[in-house]
């Protein structure tokens, strides 16, 4: 088996005085669509931020593509950041730029391509994320919730990352929009050969699109595996999470298919 | 699952275009991923020959092809077609086909935002400038309408918020205002003492410093510092609250933002600025007194004895009376500019700047008006 894209060993993170993760271990395989699940406040987003090099760990190691991230030179860090894209929960689009400029921004920063090529690539990314051409010249404040998510996804794909981090991609979308977004994520993974890590609460996403689920609780990974396996887990917290009615219904409809 | 990327070892080779003009072939090789494409892009732009006939582009030797790489391949095709050739791709694996197709089907030209001409922009600036005054007056009107019922029944005022604002705008400004007033007192005494000494009129330093500091410099300097410190923070706070929809949340709860946010700031500054002015007056005179004593032989005792006779108490009261007016200008402009923020973080910066500039501007204008009205009409 190929080396994992991300290898986390004995990770400890703190927010203020509160220890969020304690000796957490996790491997994420290349090309895999891994969901990070867990109840609210279990540190899913914090883990995502740690993996995306946005939050330095207190102890432990995170290896991205076999490269340790604890002692990175500035140029190595910049190189790594070019290989990953992050889509934030609320989009975090730059409010002073149009959607197209938002997507073009990382390209202009990281490459020496001329503007015409950059904007051509940016337009492809918007298309890839399923945005209409009319949306390109809008400002973030003029976008609907679904369009904001898609624009944020387009920006996170700007540099053709190998790793894509998605924080609650379907939160706040209507059911149709959420399903479409799930399908889009799978489509992009297949088309671009991405390794996707998504933090989600959406039972449908967990059952339908995740290859692997890492269930976080008590500061560590309580269980991991496909939804089917986790639903039968012996761990009480995991069983409780997957035993909820919403989760059951999503699982039942998945079984029928 | 189609994985286009291959092992790390092969991704290290630079992307390359080899022209075999005789055979009408282009061979692409190496790693065609976004970070490395600049050189290839230049080649495509410059080196495409004027040609015709059927060209073949071989992609078989490309180790990595991402969407940006696919865009470059399509640009190459377009250039060749524009030069008069027909183009065929070869060595395209099944998984790359989808990416190349995507890059070929580039979406239609993005509609441009209509650009305004300079004349139109000038017109808009002027009208928005004029309307700005009306909007500001409307803001004052709404503020008054919302807060008057509260002000008339003081037990319904938000005393807690007022106390918090009073601490931030007043108490925390004490060190900086004290220090700056002290330094200005020193500078003024030093400069004017130099001139008065020539006439042996050292003792008139007391008159000069008393009038200038108490009447003009004290209130003016304090207001300028407060406009930069507090006016800016009012704009930034309210502007950010606009962006995060906190203002809308207040409205939705039936709390008017004027009464909740603006009125406490307004009242707090109305109280704080006169008090800060007294403090600035004292520190300024102290600085002046120190220099008079050390350099010009006017010692503390003489200075303090002469001060009440040389400078009528009116001077002090005129200075203090200006302060609430300046405070009202700074607070209302600061809050008003905050409410103008609508969409972007850019605007927070822009309106904060405007708030400080306009705050200082109107304070100085008001000061000039005071001088004219009080001095020439009322003879104070």
DSSP class of residue B380 equals -
Instruction: Give residue A230's pLDDT band: very low, low, confident or very high (50, 70, 90).
Output: confident
Query: What's the distance, Cα to Cα, between the start and end of chain B in Å?
Result: 88
Residue located via tokens 């689009």: A93
**Each residue of B157-212: pLDDT tens digit?**
888 889 999 999 999 999 999 999 999 999 999 999 989 989 988 889 999 999 99
Asked if A82 has any chain B CB less than 8 Å from its own CB, the reply is: yes
Q: What distance separates the 2 farthest-apart alpha carbons in chain B? A: 105
Residue B76 has pLDDT above 50, yes or no: yes
User: Which whole number is the average pLDDT over A127-148?
Assistant: 85
Alpha helices in chain B (DSSP H): 38-47, 67-83, 94-104, 118-152, 159-169, 174-198, 205-211, 218-226, 232-243, 246-252, 257, 263-296, 300-310, 313-340, 345-370
Q: Which of B55, B99, B95 is nearest to B76 (CA)?
A: B55
Per-residue model confidence (pLDDT) at position B7: 41
- Tokens, residue B320: 């203090």
CA distance B139 to B338: 11
Other CB atoms within 10 A of residue A23 CB: 12
**Each residue of B96-137: pLDDT tens digit?**
887 788 777 765 555 666 777 889 889 988 988 888 888 899
Residue B1 has pLDDT above 70, yes or no: no
User: Which whole number is the average pLDDT over A74-94?
Assistant: 85
B83 backbone dihedrals φ, ψ, rounded to 5°: -80, -10
Residue B3 has pLDDT above 70, yes or no: no
Chain B residues near residue A109 by CB distance under 8 angstroms: none
Per-residue model confidence (pLDDT) at position B368: 92
A99, closest residue in chain B (CA to CA)? B110
Per-residue model confidence (pLDDT) at position B163: 93
Residue in A125, A136, A193 nearest the CB of B5: A193
Residue percentage of chain A with pLDDT more than 90:
0
Best mutation target among B68, B111, B345, B347 (most A Cβ atoms within 10 Å) is B68
Instruction: Mention every residue, 6+ apart, whose C-beta is less than 8 A from residue B131.
Output: none
Residue B94 has pLDDT above 90, yes or no: no
3-state secondary structure A110-164: HCCCCHHHHHHHHHHHHHHCCCCHHHHHCCHHHCCHHHHHHHHHHHHCCCCCCEE
**B345 CA: distance to closest CA in chain A (Å):** 6
Contact A124 B71 (CB under 8 A): yes
**A160 CA: distance to closest CA in chain B (Å):** 6
CA distance B23 to A117: 28
Instruction: Mention every residue, 6+ apart, whose C-beta is less than 8 A from residue A132.
Output: none
pLDDT mean across residues, chain B: 86
Asked if A114 has any chain B CB less than 8 Å from its own CB, the reply is: yes
Residue B4 has pLDDT above 50, yes or no: no
Highest mean pLDDT among B39-43, B153-157, B273-277: B273-277
**Each residue of B313-323: pLDDT tens digit?**
888 998 999 99
Contact A121 B111 (CB under 8 A): no
Contact B1 A189 (CB under 8 A): yes
Helix (H, G, I), strand (E, B) or coil at A85: strand
Other CB atoms within 10 A of residue B379 CB: 6
Select the more confidently predicted residue: A208 or B291: B291
Asked if B202 has any chain A CB less than 8 Å from its own CB, the reply is: no
Instruction: Mention every residue, 6+ apart, whose C-beta is less than 8 A from residue B64.
Output: B4, B5, B6, B10, B11, B31, B32, B33
Chain B residues near residue A65 by CB distance under 8 angstroms: 8
Helix (DSSP H) and strand (DSSP E) numbers for chain A: 10, 10
Per-residue model confidence (pLDDT) at position B6: 42
Check: CB of residue B241 under 8 Å from CB of residue B344: no
User: Which whole number is the average pLDDT over B79-87?
Assistant: 80
Residues 6-45 of B with CB under 8 A from A: 8, 33-35, 37-38, 41, 45
Chain B residues near residue A128 by CB distance under 8 angstroms: 67, 102
**What's the burial of B109, exposed, middle or buried (CB within 10 Å: 0-12/13-18/19+)?**
exposed
Contact A112 B38 (CB under 8 A): yes
CA distance A216 to A90: 22
Instruction: Mention every residue, 6+ apart, whose C-beta is less than 8 A from residue A166.
Output: A87, A153, A156, A185, A196, A197, A198, A199, A200
Per-residue model confidence (pLDDT) at position B12: 59
Residues 147-206 of A with CB under 8 A from B: 157, 159-160, 162, 189-193
Residue B262 has pLDDT above 70, yes or no: yes
B127 backbone dihedrals φ, ψ, rounded to 5°: -65, -40
Per-residue model confidence (pLDDT) at position B10: 42
Per-residue model confidence (pLDDT) at position B291: 92
Chain A residues near residue B243 by CB distance under 8 angstroms: 95
Chain B residues near residue A148 by CB distance under 8 angstroms: none
Per-residue model confidence (pLDDT) at position A52: 86
Residue in B8, B66, B344 nearest the CB of A141: B344
User: Which whole number is the average pLDDT over B265-279?
Assistant: 95
Give the number of beta-carbon pairs within 8 Å between A and B: 106
Asked if A25 has any chain B CB less than 8 Å from its own CB, the reply is: no
**Each residue of B241-261: pLDDT tens digit?**
998 888 888 887 777 888 888
Q: Which of A219, A188, A181 is nearest to A85 (CA)?
A: A188
The residues that bridge with A26 in the sheet, in sequence order, are A8
Asked if A128 has any chain B CB less than 8 Å from its own CB, the reply is: yes
């Amino acid at each position: 088996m190929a080396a994992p894209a991300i290898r986390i060993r004995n990770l400890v993170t703190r927010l203020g005085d509160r220890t969020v993760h304690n000796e957490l271990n996790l491997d994420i395989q290349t090309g895999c669509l891994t969901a990070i699940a867990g109840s609210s406040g279990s540190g899913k987003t914090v883990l995502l931020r740690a993996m995306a090099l946005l939050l330095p760990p207190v102890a432990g190691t995170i290896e991205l593509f076999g490269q340790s991230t604890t002692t990175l030179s500035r140029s190595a860090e910049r190189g790594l950041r070019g290989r990953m894209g992050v889509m934030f929960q609320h989009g975090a689009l730059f409010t002073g730029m149009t959607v197209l400029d938002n997507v073009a921004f990382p390209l202009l920063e990281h490459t020496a391509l001329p503007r015409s090529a950059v904007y051509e690539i940016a337009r492809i990314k918007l298309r890839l994320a399923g945005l209409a051409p009319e949306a390109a010249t809008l400002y973030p404040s003029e976008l609907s919730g679904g369009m904001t998510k898609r624009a944020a996804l387009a920006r996170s794909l700007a540099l053709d990352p190998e790793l894509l981090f998605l924080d609650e991609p379907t939160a706040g979308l209507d059911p149709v929009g959420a399903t479409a977004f799930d399908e889009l994520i799978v489509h992009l993974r297949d088309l671009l050969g991405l390794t996707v890590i998504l933090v989600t609460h959406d039972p449908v996403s967990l059952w339908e699109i995740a290859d692997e689920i890492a269930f976080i609780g008590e500061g560590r990974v309580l269980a991991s595996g496909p939804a089917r396996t986790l639903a039968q887990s012996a761990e009480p917290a995991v069983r409780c999470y997957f035993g909820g009615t919403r989760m059951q219904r999503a699982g039942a409809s998945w079984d029928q298919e | 699952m189609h994985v286009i990327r291959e092992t790390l070892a092969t991704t290290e080779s630079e992307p390359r275009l080899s022209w075999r003009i005789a055979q009408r072939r282009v061979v692409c090789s190496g790693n065609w991923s976004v970070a490395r494409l600049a050189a290839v892009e230049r080649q495509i732009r410059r080196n495409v020959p004027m040609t015709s006939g059927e060209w073949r582009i071989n992609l078989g030797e490309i180790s990595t092809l991402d969407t940006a790489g696919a865009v470059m391949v399509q640009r190459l095709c377009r250039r060749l077609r524009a030069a008069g050739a027909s183009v065929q791709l070869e060595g395209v694996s099944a998984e790359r086909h989808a990416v190349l197709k995507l890059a070929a089907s580039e979406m239609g030209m993005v509609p441009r935002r209509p650009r305004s001409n300079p004349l139109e922009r000038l017109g808009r600036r002027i009208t928005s400038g004029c309307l700005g005054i009306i909007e500001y007056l409307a803001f004052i009107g709404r503020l008054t309408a919302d807060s008057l019922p509260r002000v008339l029944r003081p037990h319904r005022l938000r005393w807690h918020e007022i106390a918090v604002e009073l601490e931030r705008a007043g108490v925390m400004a004490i060190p900086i205002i004290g220090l700056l007033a002290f330094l200005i007192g020193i500078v003024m005494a030093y400069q004017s003492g130099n001139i008065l000494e020539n006439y042996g009129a050292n003792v008139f330093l007391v008159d000069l410093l008393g009038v200038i500091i108490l009447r003009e410099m004290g209130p003016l300097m304090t207001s300028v510092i407060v406009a930069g410190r507090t006016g800016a923070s009012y704009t930034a706070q309210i502007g950010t609250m606009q962006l995060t929809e906190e203002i809308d949340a207040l409205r939705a709860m039936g709390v008017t933002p004027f009464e909740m946010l603006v009125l406490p700031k307004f009242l707090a500054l109305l109280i704080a600025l006169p008090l800060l002015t007294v403090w600035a007056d004292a520190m300024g005179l102290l600085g002046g007194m120190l220099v008079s004593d050390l350099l010009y032989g006017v010692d503390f005792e003489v200075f303090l004895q002469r001060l009440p006779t040389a400078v009528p108490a009116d001077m002090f009261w005129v200075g203090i009376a200006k302060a609430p007016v300046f405070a009202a200008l700074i607070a209302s402009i600061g809050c008003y500019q905050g409410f103008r923020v609508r969409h972007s973080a850019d605007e927070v910066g822009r309106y904060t700047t405007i708030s400080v500039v306009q705050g200082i501007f109107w304070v100085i204008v008001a000061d000039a008006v005071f001088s004219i009205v009080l001095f020439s009409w009322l003879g104070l």
